[in-house]
Amino acid sequence: MNISPPVLSIVAPVYNEQGNIPRLYSEIKRVMEQFGDPWELVLVNDGSRDNSLQEMMTVHEADPRVRIVNFARNFGHQTAVTAGMDFASGDAVVLIDADLQDPPEVILRLVEKWREGYQVVYAVRAERRGESAFKIWTAKMFYRLIYRITDVDIPLDTGDFRLMDRRVVNAVNQMREHNRFIRGLTSWVGFKQTGVEYVRQAREIGETKYPLRKMLRLAIDAITGFSFFPLQVAIYISFVLGVLAVLALPLVVFLRLATSDAFLEGQATTLSVVLILSAFQFFFFFIMGQYIARIYDETRGRPLYVVADTYGIEIEKHTIPARVVAEVPSNRVTKNSDNRTDIEEGSHAIA
Ligand code: UDP
Ligand code: MG
């Protein structure tokens, strides 16, 4: 079947979403009928352990506009989104969650703004349905913290649900850093950006793949990726302690000489001071460690992800082939009728 190159690519990361795949496809197809131009749906299987891949293959076989990137293991949400952006070929790319919490209708509103000339259109969560008060509160605090301490203007209450023009996608794809925070990267590149508000729906099928541990990790990635503030906090604490020392020491000497009782006698006081100070010190070891671990991650130069196979995607049509580290076994490379090389299967590691 001959299909025209897509104008719009919709990218969805998938991790154990077997129940959502058929709905995701049918909803997107229904909405995209109103779009008019050719489109594609790039599904990135992030090492699902359920039947997600089989469900994806079924929709891919029925509709070749559905393309699949199958990871060799779970590499995490932000990495799956990165692969989707690498393999998308549209003039604009929309990132959407596979669980339909981001209603596909909103895509048309994003497209409208894109056609008005904006290069990044992000979807702002005006309301979040069906999530625990704890999740809503932590998310709210997270967005505000990031907004305050990072050097880029990352808009409040926006997830990854957004549209990016090809120029933005190319710029973001150039940045191969590990521990990625996609929202930060798309803000960092600049361009003309705007937001549209939407109501984030409850998840109907399956459960969240973001436990507290992963949320914290994303928060640390966001902070370390876009701010040096935590490294600078130590200097403020050192000022405060320094001032305390300058004031306290003469006072202690004076009280010691002037009063007959042994002032501040006892190990309890000393012990408390030592414990408090070492708590601060270990906290800053942790902070430094976070930055150092990320430096180490970059120096190892490992690929961001490893692709086990792709379906309906011609790898060398994308910007990554130069970065394919693990060579594809030559018997897996086939020539198309128009003499283009087509790699349907094989293992690729992408830096
Ligand atoms: N996801 C993924 N890899 C992961 C975790 C999540 O690809 O390791 C996908 C997941 O399938 C979904 C999207 O990322 O499409 C958002 O995850 P989820 O809905 O669990 O997050 P929440 O909406 O609860 O924040
Ligand atoms: Mg979700």
> Cα(24) to centroid of ligand 1, in Å?
14
Q: What element of type H or E holds 12?
A: strand 8-14
Share of the chain above pLDDT 90, in %: 58
> Cα(263) to centroid of ligand 1, in Å?
59
Question: Does the C-beta of 75 come closer than 6 Å to ligand 1?
Answer: no
> Cα(318) to centroid of ligand 2, in Å?
28
Smallest CA separation from ligand 1 atom 2, residue: 77
Residues 164 and 86: beta-carbon distance below 8 Å: no
Question: Does the C-beta of 208 come closer than 6 Å to ligand 1?
Answer: yes
Smallest CA separation from ligand 1 atom 3, residue: 77
Give the tens place of pLDDT for each residue, 319-335.
554 344 344 443 444 44
Smallest CA separation from ligand 1 atom 22, residue: 208
What was the pLDDT predicted at 150?
Answer: 86
> Cα(186) to centroid of ligand 2, in Å?
20
273 or 181, higher pLDDT: 181
Q: Rounded to two decimals, what is the model's pTM?
A: 0.83
Q: Which atom of ligand 1 is nearest to the CA of 98?
A: 15
Mean pLDDT of 242-251: 87
Mean pLDDT of 108-112: 95
* Pairing, β 66-71 against β 305-311: antiparallel
Q: How far apart are CA 318 and CA 321, in angstroms?
A: 7
Whether pLDDT at 104 is above 50: yes
What was the pLDDT predicted at 339?
Answer: 45
Residue with tokens 């000489």: 257
Count other Cβ atoms within 10 Å, centred on residue 57: 18
Q: Which atom of ligand 1 is nearest to the CA of 76?
A: 8
106 or 269, higher pLDDT: 106
Give the tens place of pLDDT for each residue, 71-85.
999 999 999 999 999
Whether pLDDT at 296 is above 90: yes
> Cα(12) to centroid of ligand 2, in Å?
11
Q: Number of helices (H) and strands (E), helices first, in the chain?
A: 10, 11
Ligand lying closest to the C-alpha of residue 14: 1
Mean pLDDT of 125-152: 84
> Cα(217) to centroid of ligand 1, in Å?
14
Which residues crowd ion ligand 2, with CB under 5 Å? 97, 99, 101
Residues 325 and 286: beta-carbon distance below 8 Å: no
Ligand lying closest to the C-alpha of residue 210: 1
Mean pLDDT of 220-243: 91
Residues 223 and 141: beta-carbon distance below 8 Å: no
Question: Does the C-beta of 160 come closer than 6 Å to ligand 1?
Answer: no
Give the tens place of pLDDT for each residue, 7-46.
999 999 999 999 999 999 999 999 999 998 999 999 999 9
> Cα(203) to centroid of ligand 2, in Å?
6
What was the pLDDT predicted at 161?
Answer: 95
Question: Does the C-beta of 209 come closer than 6 Å to ligand 1?
Answer: yes
Residues 350 and 305: beta-carbon distance below 8 Å: yes
What DSSP string describes 239-269? HHHHHHHHHHHHHHHHHHHH-SS-TT-SHHH
Least confident of 18-27, 96-105, 257-266: 257-266
Residues 99 and 159: beta-carbon distance below 8 Å: no
Mean pLDDT of 189-213: 88
Residue 252 tokens read as 């202690």
Whether pLDDT at 349 is above 90: no
Residue 192 tokens read as 């003309």
Residues 215 and 144: beta-carbon distance below 8 Å: no
What DSSP string describes 306-335? EEEEEES--GGGSS-GGGB-SPPPGGGEEE
Q: Is the dihedral of CA 92, 94, 217, 283 positive or negative?
A: positive
Residues 116 and 92: beta-carbon distance below 8 Å: no
Count other Cβ atoms within 10 Å, centred on residue 239: 10
Mean pLDDT of 55-64: 95
Residue-averaged pLDDT of the chain: 86
Question: Does the C-beta of 232 come closer than 6 Å to ligand 1?
Answer: no
Question: Does the C-beta of 81 come closer than 6 Å to ligand 1?
Answer: no
CA-based nearest residue to 103, from 9, 196, 28, 165: 28
> Cα(16) to centroid of ligand 1, in Å?
9
Q: Which atom of ligand 1 is nearest to the CA of 97?
A: 15
CA-based nearest residue to 125, from 148, 159, 154: 159
What was the pLDDT predicted at 351?
Answer: 60
Question: Does the C-beta of 76 come closer than 6 Å to ligand 1?
Answer: yes
Classified by CATH at the fold level, domain 8-209+302-350 comes out as: Spore Coat Polysaccharide Biosynthesis Protein SpsA; Chain A (3.90.550)
Q: Which atom of ligand 1 is nearest to the CA of 207?
A: 20
pLDDT-derived band at 289 (thresholds 50, 70, 90) equals: very high
